[in-house]
Amino acid sequence: MATPTGRSGTRQPDSTAARVRRLNLSQSSLQDFTDCARRFQLRYLMDQAWPAPVAEPLQDAERADLLGRQFHRVMERHWLGLPVERATLDAALLPWWDAFIAHPPADLPGTERRPELHTTAVIHGQRIVATFDLLAYEPGGPAAIVDWKTSARRPNRTWLDRRLQTLIYPLLLIESAPGLLGCALPPEDVRFIYWFTNAPAEPEVFQYSTARYESDKRTLAALLDRLLAMEGETWPLTPNVELCRLCQYRSLCDRGRQAGHPDEEFELPEPVPEPAAPDDFVL
Ligand code: SF4
């Protein structure tokens, strides 16, 4: 996109708002902004290379990431109706596959199954994108978003409820339903299910509601307004230095060189988007 030209004929730098408006924001990028404005600036506006591993030992973190992506591909194949040959799977995936076969997500609505489903909507003037690991639904009826979690530890409900993924996915499904499913979807017809490879019989289910939908829209609008109003050469570093232990930019920010362990993510204090999420998003 062209850089605006001022009266003097010199090119003016884009405003933050203009640059952010050109981004397709996801739950991941908005979570970064919620955690630390500087991290969002470095990652999405400055394309800053990652100078430090996110977690140690590096090989373990990379291996866990690779296995997680492989499991998602296996799930995609399964839900597309293609055969999954157990004998061909990486040995590390076998316990997860067996756990899924023994305890698949129960009571999924309808008969439609669409894995790795991309969707998008403009909310509060900003394009938001997401990829659902699985959308299960009945045409014209209820729907469930399923998200596969492959971390070694199962995060608790409070931690999950504060994540922007829990806010954005159901909201985005409601907003995009007419184009995605061919009809509007009442919030009461939507569930969001986290399914865990290490706790397959204990999924975490969030039932959506009209009250939560309205509240989430206000929360997201406030978050976007805060992001669009950001100014300055160096955006504020998070005051919560614990968050820096799992951030690739910690050496740039002089926030230590020693990486944390990936499981520490579930123990970190969680910044809560403002206004605070309501407590009516319950099972
Ligand atoms: S190291 Fe800490 S302050 Fe720096 S970008 Fe990461 S989270 Fe923010």
Residue 218 lies in a domain: yes
Q: Is residue 267 scored above 70 in pLDDT?
A: no
Helix (H) or strand (E) holding 61: helix 58-79
Residue 15 lies in a domain: no
CA 240 to chain CA centroid, Å, is: 21
Residue 64 lies in a domain: yes
What's the gap in Å between 188 CA and the centre of ligand 1? Answer: 38
Q: What is the mean pLDDT of residues 1-25?
A: 70
Q: CB-side exposure of 107: number of CA atoms within 13 Å?
A: 8
Residue 274 lies in a domain: no
Query: CATH code at 215?
Result: 3.90.320
Our answer on whether the CB atom of 36 is closer than 6 Å to any ligand 1 atom is yes
- Rounded (5°) CA angle 43-158-200: 95
How many folded domains does the chain comprise? 1
pLDDT of residue 79: 98
Q: Is residue 168 scored above 70 in pLDDT?
A: yes
- Tell which residue, 138, 89, 83, has the closest CA to residue 111: 138
**CA dist list (Å): 42 to 164, 248, 250:** 20, 10, 11
Distance CA 211, CA 99 (A): 35
Please report the atom of ligand 1 found closest to the CA of residue 247: 6
Our answer on whether the CB atom of 52 is closer than 6 Å to any ligand 1 atom is no
pLDDT in tens, 148-157: 999 988 999 9
DSSP state for residue 264 in the 8-state scheme: G
Of the chain, the percentage scoring pLDDT greater than 90 comes to 73
Our answer on whether the CB atom of 34 is closer than 6 Å to any ligand 1 atom is no
Q: Is residue 164 scored above 80 in pLDDT?
A: yes
pLDDT in tens, 65-118: 899 999 999 999 999 999 999 999 999 999 999 999 999 999 999 999 999 999
Q: What is the mean pLDDT of residues 215-226?
A: 98
What's the gap in Å between 39 CA and the centre of ligand 1? Answer: 5
Residue nearest to atom 5 of ligand 1 (CA): 39
The model carries a pTM of 0.87
Residue 41 lies in a domain: yes
**Phi (first) and psi of residue 240, to 5 degrees:** -90, 90
pLDDT of residue 154: 93
